[in-house]
Copies of this chain bind each other. A is one copy, B any other.
């Protein structure tokens, strides 16, 4: 496999730092360029960034000079990862795509654009064909692919096997979300130590909408969204990493034997299983038998943070089934998810070096 030069937009922020950490020693991708705001541009990365990851800053990036997030400063990369803040992502990502630089984004800005794939490789790999509909650049060389919200990812991954077999009629969920989801400095400790905050601003609409695009069908170049309602309550809990979801679901075509539901999780095969993508976990879903599991502190790092853990699969008194889903919010749910997206796009030859 050839090697690709990559840039990272928003490199000094929490998501950008996670990209850097996860790309260290990546077999295909080499970080060539780091972009941040004008305040950081021109400085060495180690001076510009307040590094918050719990491993040392890789030496390969500490000396890089931070650039402005302008496409003309990134001619030496094959594509960019975007960890940009949503307040600036719309223009900057369009600029890069417009000049022929593919953008693999974690920002929310283009997630609802009908021509932009909202991609989880294990859920909807076929949606990447949407790229061909994009008009960001005249020659089609530049495009944007996004990954979903950090709750929408494990939710969609866990719903996928059920939707395929039984059809989802409706979903009620409460999320218990880790503090790392709010970035840095993020949640003040006085707000969350020994406490729960029953609201995460702006989160619930994304949780309710994004799974419908992910589980939608691509027909004639258009995503037909899945049509079931999702009711979400998003809470913040004093956990470092790992969003836990308490999910109750009603099926269109419920199985007569509940055992079928558990089997649906266990027998599900990932559509990218044979592609040997470096960041793809061998088992994207892991079904725990121990009723006390999954737990964020114990299981968020499973399979290098790329696995969605399922537990407590059981019949429900209301609706049909209840279960717990949990995934690492800043790896599977953000930077790691975007890297897996890039790997799929390389494998499918949407990106060339």
Chain A residues 278-302 with CB under 8 Å of chain B are: 291-299, 301
Instruction: Mark A202-231 against chain B: 1 for CB-CB distance below 8 A, else 0.
Output: 000000100000000000000000000111
**Chain B residue nearest to A243 in the complex (CB):** B196
Residues of B within 8 A of A301 (CB): 54
Count chain B CB atoms within 10 A of each CB in A195, A199, A291, A317 and give the residue with the most: A195
* Complex Cα–Cα for A190 and B179 (A): 7
Q: Which residues of B contact A297 (CB under 8 A)?
A: 54, 193-195, 240
Nearest Cβ on chain B to A199's Cβ, whole angstroms: 5
C-alpha gap A240/B196 in the complex (Å): 11
Binds B, one of A34-42, A258-266, A318-326: A318-326
A240 neighbours in B (Cβ, 8 Å): 190, 193-194, 297
| Binding-face segment, A116-124, A143-151, A166-174, A269-277 | A166-174
Q: CA of A213 to CA of B278 in the docked complex: distance in angstroms?
A: 50
With contacts A208-B317, A231-B317 known, is A194 near B239, CB below 8 A?
Answer: yes
- Find A196's partner among B52, B54, B176, B185 (CB 8 Å cutoff): B176
With A and B bound together, what is the CA distance between A171 and B184 in angstroms?
A: 37
| Contact of A193 with B193 at beta-carbon distance under 8 Å, contacts A54-B297, A233-B246, A317-B230 already known | yes
Interface: A188 (CB within 8 A): yes
Residue A164 is within 8 A (CB to CB) of chain B in the complex: no
Contact A319 B187 (CB under 8 A): no
A2 located at the interface, meaning its Cβ lies under 8 Å from any Cβ of chain B in the complex: no
With CB as the reference atom, state the residue of chain B lying closest to A169: B318
- Does the CB pair A193–B189 fall under 8 Å? yes
Give the docked Cα–Cα distance between A231 and B314 (Å): 11
Q: State the CA gap A268–B79 with chains docked (Å).
A: 46
- In the complex this chain forms, how many copies of it are found? 4
Chain B residue contacts of A191, Cβ below 8 A: 185, 189
| Cβ–Cβ < 8 Å partners of A324 in chain B | 198, 233
A338 close to chain B: CB less than 8 A: no
Q: Which residues of B contact A54 (CB under 8 A)?
A: 297-299, 301
CA distance A74 to B159 in the complex (A): 50
Residues on B with beta carbons closer than 8 Å to the beta carbon of A52: 190
- The CA of A319 and the CA of B317, in the complex, are separated in Å by 14
Report the 8 A-B pairs with minimum CB-CB distance, sorted nearest first: A185-B188, A195-B297, A174-B174, A229-B317, A174-B246, A231-B318, A189-B189, A233-B246
Given contacts A172-B319, A193-B194, 20 further A-B contacts (CB under 8 A): A170-B318, A171-B318, A174-B246, A176-B237, A185-B191, A186-B190, A189-B189, A193-B193, A194-B240, A195-B239, A196-B239, A198-B292, A199-B291, A199-B292, A231-B248, A231-B319, A233-B246, A235-B246, A237-B237, A246-B246
11 contacts across the A-B interface (CB closer than 8 A): A54-B297, A54-B298, A172-B172, A176-B235, A179-B190, A186-B189, A189-B238, A197-B295, A198-B244, A208-B317, A231-B318
